[in-house]
Amino acid sequence: MSKWRQTTLGKVLISGGGKIQTGPFGSQLHASDYVADGIPCIMPANMKSNRVDLSAIAYISEKDAKRLSKHLVKAGDILYSRRGDVTQKALIREAEAGYFCGTGCLLVRPGDAIDPEFLTYHLSTPTNQDWIVKQAVGATMPNLNTAILSAVPLNLPPNKDIQRRTAAILSALDAKIDCNNRINAELEAMAKTLYDYWFVQFDFPDANGKPYKSSGGKMAYNATLKREIPSGWHDSNVLAVADLLGGGTPTKKKPHYWGGDIPFFTPTDADGSIFKFSTTDYITSEGLKGSSTKLFSKHTVFITARGSVGRLVLAGVDMAMNQSCYALRAKTGISHVFLFFLAKELIHHLHVKSSGSVFDSIVSNDIELTQLAIPKSEVIEEFAAVVEPTFEKIANNTRENQQLAQLRDWLLPLLMNGQVTVA
């Protein structure tokens, strides 16, 4: 521990030829400058878990990228959100070299004096994150600048080799988490493809195991849905197969309602994972009894109705829910996996219906008035038999990721302050 040294980010960058620079200002890059295809432009919204999230990335032209070439990123750079959630950041990997540092970002180029991955983890410690949040300026909207980032305190081991070996421990955990996430995405895509094949294209297996519609299965025109559906199916809302329930929030005026062991789901917990086993907030049994919320059983489908509207989550354990969500509880004999995908279809219909207007909330009438094709129970049962094992694999991977993340977050400050060292 005695060999570790206290310094600041700015001093380390200067010693290694690194720098901190502000991303382009709005006057340099206007909304009209973004194009359908070109150089990916990394914004704060594209930063997730220290990585670049490409799912909704914008693009600028090669001409603009050349004009603003000082803002092109290199492998090992770290981008920071300059406004709002100032703890959001992303380490640039080799695959992202040459991307563009967008407006609303700060670029940290580590230089030769510090390992970029080690620095990323060091900046992720609760101590450093709290320090940055407290130093950020602005009463209503926290803002970072180059001076604040330069002053971030660092506690560094004696050489880069130790830095690299320390980072490798944490990186191995993150790599396994990433691997599980990729597997889960593939498994979900496979299940969704099968759902579409069976319940959108109507090519579920017929009595002979052949695709129903493609093999000449009997279809009937449905006047409500204004299309043909398989004979024996009917139109109804999602409440034909599920109960619709609302939530509530225990009052904050009674502290003993909070900090218990009951997960409390809100829209902020909808992070893209299908299953949710833990939440940001927890309530007590007193909070559950003293409010309008309920304890929703495992496999309940949560729909976010405000905030991040239209996101779906399956409860991995029993949990409560606030009033900004709806809960769909599958009726007896109905698969939670089928209900999950039917709810996805419902949300798709609501998006289509709202085309051209702001989709900023969902009310119960939206759910009750949206008509869908409801299949025969035996088809749902066959689908469940095929797909539920896939969803169990997704659930197991999600549980493992939670354990790995807990281990990483426990190790992180210990490794970064020298309490735990690597050989």
Helix (H, G, I), strand (E, B) or coil at 92: coil
Residue-level pLDDT at 324: 96
Answer yes or no: is pLDDT of 350 > 60. Answer: yes
Strands (E), 269-384: 275-276, 281-283, 301-304, 312-315, 320-321, 325-330, 372-374
Answer yes or no: is pLDDT of 338 > 90. Answer: yes
Task: Categorize the per-residue pLDDT at 355 as very low, low, confident or very high, splitting at 50, 70 and 90.
Answer: low
245-268 mean pLDDT: 97
Query: Which of 189-203, 259-273, 353-367 shows the lowest per-residue confidence on average (mean pLDDT)?
Result: 353-367
Q: Do 221 and 234 meet the contact criterion of CB atoms below 8 Å apart?
A: no
Residue-level pLDDT at 168: 96
What kind of fold does domain 5-156 have according to CATH? Answer: Adenine-n6-DNA-methyltransferase TaqI; Chain A, domain 2 (3.90.220)
What kind of fold does domain 187-400 have according to CATH? Answer: Adenine-n6-DNA-methyltransferase TaqI; Chain A, domain 2 (3.90.220)
Compute the mean pLDDT over every residue in the chain, rounded to the nearest whole number.
94
**Residue 326 DSSP class:** E
Sequence letter at residue 143: N
Q: Do 108 and 20 meet the contact criterion of CB atoms below 8 Å apart?
A: yes
Answer yes or no: is pLDDT of 152 > 60. Answer: yes
- What does the pLDDT look like over 99-134, one tens digit per residue? 999 999 999 999 999 999 999 999 999 999 999 999
347-370 mean pLDDT: 84
Sequence letter at residue 278: S
Answer yes or no: is pLDDT of 356 > 60. Answer: no
209 φ/ψ angles, rounded to the nearest 5 degrees: 80, 10
Domain(s) of CATH 3.90.220.20: residues in the chain: 5-156, 187-400
Task: Categorize the per-residue pLDDT at 358 as very low, low, confident or very high, splitting at 50, 70 and 90.
Answer: low
Sequence letter at residue 377: S
- What does the pLDDT look like over 312-336, one tens digit per residue? 999 999 999 999 999 999 999 999 9
Closest-CA residue to 80 (of 61, 105, 54, 116): 105
Answer yes or no: is pLDDT of 200 > 60. Answer: yes
Residue-level pLDDT at 420: 84
Q: How many whole angstroms separate alpha carbon 402 and alpha carbon 396? A: 10
Q: How many whole angstroms separate alpha carbon 52 and alpha carbon 62? A: 20
210 φ/ψ angles, rounded to the nearest 5 degrees: -100, 155
Sequence letter at residue 346: L
State how beta strands 58-60 and 39-42 pair.
Answer: antiparallel
Q: Tokens at residue 300, please?
A: 């309940």
**Cα dihedral angle (233, 236, 238, 241), rounded to 10 degrees?**
-50
Query: Which runs of consecutive H residues, i.e. helices, occur in 45-202?
Result: 62-67, 116-123, 126-135, 146-150, 160-199
Residue-level pLDDT at 217: 97
- What does the pLDDT look like over 295-306, one tens digit per residue? 999 999 999 998
Q: Do 298 and 263 meet the contact criterion of CB atoms below 8 Å apart?
A: no
CB-neighbour burial class of residue 280 (10 A; exposed 0-12, middle 13-18, buried 19+): exposed
Residue-level pLDDT at 1: 47
Q: How many whole angstroms separate alpha carbon 333 and alpha carbon 377? A: 8
Residue-level pLDDT at 399: 97
Q: What is the DSSP string of 365-413?
A: HHHHH--EEEPPHHHHHHHHHHHHHHHHHHHHHHHHHHHHHHHHHHHHH
Q: Do 71 and 107 meet the contact criterion of CB atoms below 8 Å apart?
A: yes
Closest-CA residue to 102 (of 135, 147, 53): 53
Which residues neighbour 41 within 8 Å (Cβ) at sequence distance 6 or greater?
A: 34, 57, 58, 59, 60, 99, 100, 102
Task: Categorize the per-residue pLDDT at 361 as very low, low, confident or very high, splitting at 50, 70 and 90.
Answer: confident
